[in-house]
Amino acid sequence: LRCLKILNQCLDGIFCHMLCDDVLGRSLFSRKQREAESAPGWKLFGKVPLRESPPKNSKTIQQEYETKVSKSGQSPSLPAQGRRKNLEFEPLSTTALILEDRPANLPAKSEEEAQRHRQEYDEMVAEAKKRELKEAQKKKKQMKERFKQEESIANAMVVWNNEILPNWESMRGTRRVRDLWWQGLPPNVRGKVWSLAIGNELNITSDLYEIFLSRAKERWKSFRETGSEMESDGTSLSADRESSLDLIKLDISRTFPPLFIFQKGGPYHDLLHSLLGAYTCYRPDVGYVQGMSFIAAVLILNLEEADAFIAFANLLNKPCQMVFFRVDHELMLKYFAAFEVFFEENLPRLFNHFKSSNLTPDLYLIDWIFTLYTKSLPLDVACRVWDVFCRDGEEFLFRTGLGILRLYEEVLLQMDFIHIAQFLTRLPEDMLSERLFSCIANTQMISGNRKWIQVFNALLKDKEMEKSSSPTVKNS
């Protein structure tokens, strides 16, 4: 009842006010624009009332204001009493907060309330300035680090081009070169160093690449005409689904989609398609396997077409890559077993957590090895992993895996099976190469005074002994 009584009183007051306005020839809602603009109040990046005149930018408004003030003989910085500054232009900083009194038609603030609002306003301004200063310092630090990195890359580029590459065979194994290699290769020499480090044991030439590319184009033409792949003698190609042309086209569209250069219509789409098609003709026993497109794409970004094919074919011919791409399950299991030996040696807590969660290495290592980390890691970090992989061989692939697990050990310890598998499939985009390589450097590939190759060979011998003893078991 009390609320209804107050409401009736308010309505009566408004009615009387409107009646008086009507009698005096004034409307309650038809105040002059000057009065509306001069009404004091709070504004925090407030919008001014719309005007019929076309919009003006802040610079034009400021110039008009200064001209108007100068003609009236008043200082822009010291406006006359009761006149507001022109605040219709957008503030240039987050510290441009406006504190004003209440409008004249509202009760005035008490002294305590006005003081409290002033204090809150000062705190807001101080906090805004603090954030701006912190952001400015962060940007300054980032720029400083970037300039330092660019200078380091420029100096390293001179050393690689003038000293190391002209004397490759004699210098590649020296301590100085290995240290420079660990720090990451300059982008403009990366492809050349990769090509030299991978080598060309298969003796592939540019002419041989053109031959297999022509053969691939004939197969594509036959495929378009007949709907099935045909060999040169006219017989149907009995390739499985993994080596089909459809899968190559599908995988190309999935290769580094954020770059938009390998997708249909992109500048490297046809080049990637040609390289993969030529390889399926060169190695029909291997064919095309998912993951190859990422490896070929990284090589295309750093090498010319024929050189990229030569490096691609020789890289996939390495023992570890051939085991995985030919899907040799028994040998793959030996690689996983060797990995677990060093996993338990370096990260026992995480190893036990994975074991209790029934998370086996094949659930994450297969994707890492098939794509050489190019799908899971940010591209710049993956390229640096490739740098040292070309230097150290297959051991570094598994050492990198342990480095990743070390980097995110505390996070992974809090996760269950599903979340760990999802996390390791797509690692954080903000990963820094320096942090990862620091973790890799702290990972020791020694177990019981045995290195990686010794542990792996011991597992292979165990496998051979099992095979040799199996007929004896049968006879017995």
Q: What is the pLDDT of residues 48-58, one digit of tens each?
A: 444 445 555 55
Nearest to 219 by CA among 206, 237, 207: 237
Stretch 406-434: mean pLDDT? 92
Q: What confidence tens digit (pLDDT) does each residue in 427-469 have? A: 998 898 999 999 999 999 998 889 999 999 999 887 677 666 6
The pTM of the full predicted model, rounded to 2 decimals, is 0.69
Stretch 84-95: mean pLDDT? 46
Asked if residue 35 has pLDDT above 50, the reply is no
First to last CA, the chain: 103
Considering the domain 198-317 in this protein, what is its CATH number? 1.10.8.270
**pLDDT at residue 233 in the model:** 46
Asked if residue 101 has pLDDT above 50, the reply is yes
Query: How confident is residue 306, by pLDDT bands cut at 50, 70 and 90?
Result: very high
User: Residue 340's CB: how many other CB atoms inside 10 A?
Assistant: 16
Q: Which amino acid is at 344?
A: E
Nearest to 39 by CA among 105, 90, 109: 105
Asked if residue 39 has pLDDT above 70, the reply is no
**pLDDT at residue 144 in the model:** 86
Query: How confident is residue 165, by pLDDT bands cut at 50, 70 and 90?
Result: very high
**pLDDT at residue 27 in the model:** 42
- Cα 472 to chain centroid distance, Å, stands at 55
> Can you identify the CATH homologous superfamily of domain 324-470?
Ypt/Rab-GAP domain of gyp1p, domain 3 (1.10.472.80)
**pLDDT at residue 112 in the model:** 87
Query: How confident is residue 394, by pLDDT bands cut at 50, 70 and 90?
Result: very high
Strands 446-447 and 450-451 turn out to be antiparallel
Output the average pLDDT for the chain. Answer: 80
**pLDDT at residue 245 in the model:** 66
